[in-house]
């Protein structure tokens, strides 16, 4: 009987798969590790939320931990995990040095979710009304922290092929410490497609996205102020339903039923909402990673209209399941065309199935991922020997986060 392998996941938040793509991504990772014999403990310093998943029901031990507190050291020594997965670079900054000191043999993995520095640099360029350029990343403060975190870890999961390219070509990261891992879903069959609501049984446009995520809030503003007036002018009976977790008061104030613009708040079941809609609208102007809402639309058989930023790295060279356009007038025109033309709609729907089955299949990535992790567990010393920049960043003169944490802990005791 093989020895049980222990995985410790340190979460930025407790997983909320019904609130965000990040929550869904985390549950995908948990499933992969469980299927491959890992016993999982999920720890986080975040407060519990009403919408967090019941980890115990998945056979996962839940552990609340504290920031800047040596109680974590005692916890991790006792647990003695074989593998530690950090959820976003900020968590690696907080706990990575503690794991390295107390469990030096544990493999350290980082799930970047998306490149935060890319999102930040694009958002900055957008607000300054200029075109984003890759060189902007080199002066982005978040990039210095995020790249350092990637280098300190044994392996980092990168969700987008475009972000893999940036890490290789802009930041010159050794490919041996990177692993391309997009969203992972099951194959979609024609029978499953046929069981989804038909064109004539669907109605309305829809947008869905967590409002704690700045690109989503910006998208809804853009819809309300620019896209929707153009669309309504040529299609007066159109209705748009905007769903999303954690809507603020400024989001709720956009609710305007007389204009067909409805702020619906959190969706009880996002899949059911998207399945009943005829077209997803996602005029995303900045961001990073992959857009969970657009993959979800494909799974629900719902065509979408988005921008180049929205579709980035999501469909290889395959035709999109709808339209991709940055021009506001054409965006509105194509949204109406897709909504009203059944033949066009069905072809777009079929394109979505092809994208799912060629770009996001579990079996394409799962075996390679576990093989890579097992290889690291077998020969981590050699891997780390050749990650010189990573070992450099573990050097005591560069451990500012460690000494800041110790200072905060000492201060809190006084």
**Tens-digit pLDDT profile for the chain (414 aa)?**
357 899 999 999 999 998 888 899 999 999 999 999 999 999 999 999 999 999 999 999 999 999 999 999 999 999 999 999 999 999 999 999 999 999 999 999 999 999 999 999 999 999 999 999 999 999 999 999 999 999 999 999 999 999 999 999 999 999 999 999 999 999 999 999 999 999 999 999 999 999 989 999 999 999 999 999 999 999 999 999 999 999 999 999 999 999 999 999 999 999 999 999 999 999 999 999 999 999 999 999 999 999 999 999 999 999 999 999 999 999 999 999 999 999 999 999 999 999 999 999 998 899 999 999 999 999 999 999 999 988 888 876 567 778 888 888 888 887
Token reading at 84 = 């530690």
Quick one: pLDDT at residue 1?
A: 37
Based on the number of CB atoms within 10 Å of its own CB, is 35 exposed (0-12), middle (13-18) or buried (19 or more)?
A: exposed
Quick one: pLDDT at residue 397?
A: 59
Quick one: pLDDT at residue 398?
A: 63
Residues 6+ positions from 245 with CB-CB distance below 8 Å: 16, 18, 19, 20, 51, 210, 211, 212, 266
Quick one: pLDDT at residue 399?
A: 72
Provide the residue count of the chain.
414
Going by C-alpha positions, the residue among 306, 293, 272, 292 that lies closest to residue 197 is 272
Quick one: pLDDT at residue 414?
A: 74
CA distances 173 to 119, 151, 161, 387, Å, are 19, 8, 14, 10
Count CA atoms within 13 Å of residue 271 on its CB side. 6
Quick one: pLDDT at residue 400?
A: 77
Which domains are delineated in the chain?
A: 5-184+362-413 (3.40.50.2000), 190-359 (3.40.50.2000)
**pTM given for the model:** 0.93
Quick one: pLDDT at residue 192?
A: 94
Going by C-alpha positions, the residue among 270, 332, 338 that lies closest to residue 304 is 338
């Amino acid at each position: 009987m093989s020895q049980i392998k222990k995985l410790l996941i340190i979460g930025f938040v407790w997983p909320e798969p019904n609130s965000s793509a990040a929550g869904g991504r985390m549950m995908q990772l948990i499933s992969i590790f469980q299927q491959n014999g890992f016993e999982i403990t999920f720890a986080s310093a975040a407060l519990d939320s009403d919408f967090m998943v019941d980890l115990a029901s998945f056979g996962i031990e839940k552990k609340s931990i504290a920031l800047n507190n040596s109680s974590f050291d005692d916890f991790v020594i006792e647990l003695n995990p074989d593998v530690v997965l950090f959820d976003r670079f900020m968590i690696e900054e907080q706990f990575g040095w503690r794991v390295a000191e107390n469990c030096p043999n544990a493999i350290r993995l980082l799930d970047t979710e998306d490149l935060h520095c890319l999102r930040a640099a694009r958002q900055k360029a957008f607000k300054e009304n200029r075109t984003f350029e890759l060189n902007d990343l080199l002066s982005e403060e978040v990039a210095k922290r995020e790249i350092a975190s990637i280098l300190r870890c044994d392996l980092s999961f990168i969700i987008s092929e475009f972000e893999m390219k940036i890490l290789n070509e802009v930041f010159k990261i050794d490919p041996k410490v990177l692993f391309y891992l997009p969203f992972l879903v099951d194959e979609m069959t024609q029978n499953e497609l046929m069981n989804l609501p038909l064109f004539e049984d669907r109605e309305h446009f829809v947008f869905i996205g967590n409002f704690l995520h700045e690109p989503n809030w910006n998208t809804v503003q853009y819809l309300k102020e620019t896209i929707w007036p153009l669309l309504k002018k040529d299609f007066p009976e159109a209705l748009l339903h905007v769903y999303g977790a954690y809507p603020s008061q400024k989001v709720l104030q956009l609710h305007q039923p007389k204009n067909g613009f409805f702020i619906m708040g959190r969706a009880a079941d996002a899949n059911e909402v998207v399945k009943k809609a005829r077209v997803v609208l996602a005029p995303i102007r900045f961001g990073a990673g992959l857009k969970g809402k657009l993959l979800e639309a494909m799974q629900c058989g719902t065509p979408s209209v988005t921008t180049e930023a929205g579709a980035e790295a999501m469909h290889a060279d395959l035709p999109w399941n709808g339209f991709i356009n940055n021009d506001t007038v054409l965006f509105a025109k194509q949204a109406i065309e897709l909504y009203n033309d059944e033949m066009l709609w069905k072809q777009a729907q079929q394109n979505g199935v092809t994208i799912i089955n060629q770009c996001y299949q579990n079996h394409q990535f799962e075996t390679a991922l576990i093989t890579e992790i097992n290889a690291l567990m077998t020969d981590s010393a050699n891997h780390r020997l050749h990650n010189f920049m990573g070992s450099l960043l573990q050097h005591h003169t560069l451990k500012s986060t460690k000494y800041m944490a110790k200072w905060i802990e000492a201060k809190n005791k006084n």
